[in-house]
Amino acid sequence: MSTTGATADPLATLGALPGVAESVETVRKAVDRVYGHRIMRRRSNEITSEAALRGARGSAALSGADWALEELRRRTDFSGDDEARTVGAALRLTAEAGQLLSIWRQSPLRVLARLHLVAAADSDPRVGRPRQDGEPVDEPLVELPLPNAAEVSGRLEGLSRLIIAGGSAPALVTAAVVHGELLALRPFASHNGLVARAAQRIVLVGSGLDPKAICPAEVGLAELGRAAYLAALDGYVSGTPEGMAAWIAHCGKAVELGVRESVAVCEALQRGAA
């Protein structure tokens, strides 16, 4: 997405695309439904914790580590093979995201650097900074052409300016653009998908749409599947109105499915079965 055009608020312009308003309204109603569940009045912290675990599982699955939820509950060591490290990174990012909400609107690039540091958890000098030309990118899911370092820098700065400026765009639109832009750019040497989905979570929570972090979009993205995810991302990268609207709708459907997951958790807790 170009963030340097003449439009004062390009995110708001995306909100006016055909079908996007409907997606926004559907998501809002779904979120209201889970927040209105009576179990939320007494056990919201449990719903938040469960949503975090399930969201991390979904994000890791999209990055190639599709583990059963029971395995995540059982394991304590995530330092073994590549899959275990991916799951560990997803869990760390989900925990860290909630600590960065106050910083996001003032310094989103600082938050992205922190997210990459948390995900990578090593001393590689490339960790926590945008990649330079010629540096390889380890991103098992996305195979789109890589923008060069100058384009990455320019687009990250543009995205940062939009976030700091705020605006009237719905939270879903902003979250989808942050998510899509990071996947398209892959600004870091590794863990870009995990970081992109964590950044989307920060926007949805920090915007007030999902303040208790109980609507794990990552669950929905995993349920919709990798093929649909990549097809929707192609639409985002195309920059066409139709493609952008399809990407936003895909992200919206993922939030709806995340809501459904948390409603099921609420009902299980209500029955005393969880």
Q: Percent of the chain, pLDDT > 90? A: 85
**pLDDT classification of 5: cutoffs 50, 70, 90:** very low
What pLDDT is attached to residue 167? 86
For 225, half-sphere exposure in the C-beta direction (CA atoms, 13 angstrom radius) is 3
Per-residue pLDDT for 200 more than 60? Answer: yes
**In contact, 214 and 44? CB cutoff 8 Å:** yes
In angstroms, the CA 154 to CA 149 distance is 9
CA neighbor of 263 nearest in space, from 37, 102, 14, 19: 37
Average pLDDT over residues 153-181: 95
DSSP letter (8 states) at residue 225? -
Q: Percent of the chain, pLDDT > 70? A: 96
What pLDDT is attached to residue 7? 46
What pLDDT is attached to residue 206? 96
DSSP letter (8 states) at residue 80? S
What pLDDT is attached to residue 273? 47
Span of 139-143, 150-154, 179-183 with lowest mean pLDDT: 139-143
What pLDDT is attached to residue 61? 97
Hey, how many other C-beta atoms are within 10 angstroms of the C-beta on 125? 7
Q: Tell me the per-residue pLDDT of 15-74, one tens digit each, with 9 for 90 and over.
A: 888 899 999 999 999 999 999 999 998 999 999 999 999 999 999 999 999 999 999 999
What pLDDT is attached to residue 251? 98
**pLDDT classification of 8: cutoffs 50, 70, 90:** low
Tokens describing residue 13: 């312009």
Tokens describing residue 164: 């700091």
b (16+ CB within 10 A) / e for 129-144: ebbeeeeeeebeebee
Tokens describing residue 157: 């700065």
* ∠ Cα 47 191 161 (to 5°): 85
The separation between CA 118 and the C-alpha centre of its own chain, rounded to angstroms, equals: 15
The pLDDT mean for the chain works out to 93
Q: Tell me the per-residue pLDDT of 109-134, one tens digit each, with 9 for 90 and over.
A: 999 999 999 999 988 889 999 999 99
For 86, half-sphere exposure in the C-beta direction (CA atoms, 13 angstrom radius) is 23
In angstroms, the CA 32 to CA 34 distance is 6
Hey, how many other C-beta atoms are within 10 angstroms of the C-beta on 5? 10
Helix axes 192-206, 82-97, angle to 10 degrees: 20
Per-residue pLDDT for 211 more than 50? Answer: yes
What pLDDT is attached to residue 1? 63
**pLDDT classification of 79: cutoffs 50, 70, 90:** confident
Q: Tell me the per-residue pLDDT of 228-273, one tens digit each, with 9 for 90 and over.
A: 999 999 999 999 999 999 999 999 999 999 999 999 999 999 988 4
